[in-house]
Structure 1
Amino acid sequence: MFSVIIPLYNKAPYVEKAINSVLSQTYREFELIVVNDGSTDDSLNVVQTFFKSPLGNLGAFSPSLGGWGVLTQSNLGVSIARNNGVKVAQYDYIAFLDADDWWEPTYLEEMKLLIEEFPQAGIYGSGYFLIKNGVKRIAPVGVERTFKKGEINYCRTYSNTLCMPLWTGSTIIRKTIFESEHGFKPTLKLGEDFDLWIRVVQKYPVVILNKPLSNYNQDVELANRAIGEKLYEPYEHMLFTDYGALQSNPEFRYLYEQLALYGLLPYYLTGKNEKEVKLILSGINWKDHAFKYRLYYKILPIVIVQFWMHFLKIGSIVKQKMLT
């Protein structure tokens, strides 16, 4: 039923736990496809300890249903790695898991039941845990505590808390829909999942199981995470993507503006992508958003905002050290 895709780039300390969490699933009708994205550490050797057969090369890959396989490619990025994994997938539903995250044992079993109960949907998600500074907490996606499962309005739900209701490691999508949308955009290095999900949810129902069944590991070194202090070129970041007619959708527009006001601040303060940032900010409906953003972007001098952000960063570091 499920093809599980694990993109792998320099995650040697983590990938064993990820793979074990797949192999320990209570539901067994799945195949596992690891896509090695040109790792330069010991990641591939760790994977080889699980699989006895020779490693496959892209284009010469034919795992049996219920089996496994490893694709090898040069370092082309996570979007292409996932897309190449889906190309050889043989089951109808695609489940993604990054190499530094892991599933609870009943994830696939409970997602199968969700799919059977809501066959009309095109994309499915579960709740998930956030792990940061060794502390595990339930991700506060924007549904009511009493909500158990069912269809959601993706943009409205996301806007409630700005915590992803569809996080890649807890999301399952029909293969035919993934293919019809041409998968993840190869150029995107940040927000490639948001970009695909937002295209899908405009056409198909979204169903959520409000139960944490996956684990999002935020304790990985920043150097090995897309979300960190790195600033991206416009073609690499989902905030600089042209969403065309979607921008006229009020619910999408509100969500996008919230994400932009939060995510563009480092670019604004450093002058990175200055032209693109100014263009996005010129279209913001400021009255719809928190006053602090008007302070940051329109009222206070940049040097004051820079100082304040530096102060907040130091405070966060001190707090982390106190917790560890």
Structure 2
Amino acid sequence: MSFFTVIIPLYNKENFIQKTIESVLNQSFDDFEILIIEDCSTDNSKMKVLEIQSNKIKLIQHLQNKGLSASRNTGIQNASSDYIAFLDADDVWKENYLETLFSLIRKYPEARLFATNYAEIYNDKTTIINNQKVLELGNDFIVSNFFELNLGKPIYIPSSLCVAKEVFEKVGLFDEKITYTEDVDFNIRANISFHLAYSPNALVNYNLFIENQMSTTDMAGKTFADFSGYEKQFPNNKSLKKYLDFNRYVLVRMLQNEKESEKSTILKGEIDFKNLNFKQQLLLKIPQTIVTTISKLKKYLTKKGIMVSSYD
């Protein structure tokens, strides 16, 4: 049995998947298996996988397109290892990523969640490492309050997260009914119940494309996590409430960009504005035409390697 199972959901990533797989095969820690869940791609993604010869790779084919959460769940259910590391099919690990996870597992036996920082790569050339607040906390550590530390850019992304299999046995798998914010939903369930060990080293390249930022994502057809349900379940958790309101803010901004006024009004009404910073409160109050102009300026600055955010 391998120490890690690496789960890569795959759907229409023919231009990226080989580089992603190679970043796993080139790891300094090599006790792992790779499960690639092919979710009925309509491009040549599957053929790109088959071109790579390695006995560490197992390709699992869905018979119909089921979505990201279902692909991750298929991987979890077929994993032979006690520790499961996720990697999206267009992201890349640095060669010491799994070695760092192994070190965290050995160093913090009380933890069942393990993660590292990451670098955002825009259009293959502009690199931005966020989360200065975690860099200021020093070397590896146990996260004392996940929700407080994530009131902004998340401290990890799915591609920089490793989960002990027993976590899924207690909190459940990814919710396949949720088609947007499924990661937020899982993060809440997992971090309420288990300790997270964290490395502030940015060991994952998170590939983003500026032309797709703030673009249409068909939010009208998306199903969100039930934030209000968590408030009812944990009424005295003030940090969780702030985290939920921050994620509501993010969704409201996206819905406003798509002129989904009814959904955005409902979510906006659930926010306690005291849980938002001044910039966030302002962006929810000013006219949408001004917000659109600000978004265009942000996009331009990002191309120049300058990150401007309302999360600070």
1:5 maps to what in 2? 7
Identity of aligned residues (%): 27
1:281 aligns with 2:268: yes
2:198 maps to what in 1? 208
CA contact (8 A) 1:187 1:235 kept: no
1:290 maps to what in 2? 277
Q: State the AA in 1 paired with 2:116.
A: S
Q: Distance in 2 between matches of 1:200 and 1:91?
A: 19
Q: State the AA in 1 paired with 2:6.
A: V
Structure 2 counterparts to residues 1-324 of structure 1, below 5 A: 1-51=3-53, 67-73=56-62, 74-133=64-123, 134-140=125-131, 142-152=133-143, 153-159=145-151, 162-219=152-209, 222=212, 228-233=215-220, 236-238=223-225, 242-243=229-230, 244-268=232-256, 270=258, 272=260, 274=262, 276-298=263-285, 300=286, 305-319=287-301
CA contact (8 A) 1:32 1:69 kept: yes
TM-score normalised by the chain length of structure 1: 0.84
Q: Distance in 2 between matches of 1:137 and 1:315?
A: 17
**CA gap 1:270/1:321 in 2 versus in 1, 3 angstroms:** closer
Q: Secondary structure at the match of 1:124?
A: strand
* Deviation string, structure 1 residues 135-161 (Cα, Å, up to 9, x no partner): 1232316425242111111011112xx
Q: State the AA in 2 paired with 1:109.
A: E
**CA gap 1:297/1:106 in 2 versus in 1, 3 angstroms:** closer
CA contact (8 A) 1:231 1:272 kept: no
**CA gap 1:171/1:266 in 2 versus in 1, 3 angstroms:** closer
Q: Distance in 2 between matches of 1:157 and 1:151?
A: 12
Q: How many residues align?
A: 299
Structure 1 position 248, deviation (Å): 3.8
**CA gap 1:219/1:121 in 2 versus in 1, 3 angstroms:** same
CA contact (8 A) 2:35 2:59 kept: yes
Structure 1 position 284, deviation (Å): 2.3
Structure 1 position 273, deviation (Å): 6.6
Q: Secondary structure at the match of 2:155?
A: coil
TM-score normalised by the chain length of structure 2: 0.87
Structure 1 position 280, deviation (Å): 3.2
CA contact (8 A) 2:39 2:71 kept: yes
Q: Secondary structure at the match of 1:211?
A: strand
Structure 1 position 229, deviation (Å): 2.4
Q: Distance in 1 between matches of 2:282 and 2:41?
A: 43
Q: Distance in 1 between matches of 2:210 and 2:279?
A: 30
Q: Secondary structure at the match of 2:242?
A: helix
Name stretches of at least 5 consecutive residues in structure 2 with no aligned partner. Answer: 306-312
Structure 1 position 16, deviation (Å): 0.6
CA contact (8 A) 2:210 2:303 kept: no
* Deviation string, structure 1 residues 114-145 (Cα, Å, up to 9, x no partner): 10110111101111111114112323164252
CA contact (8 A) 1:141 1:157 kept: no
Q: State the AA in 2 paired with 1:258.
A: F
**CA gap 1:289/1:318 in 2 versus in 1, 3 angstroms:** closer
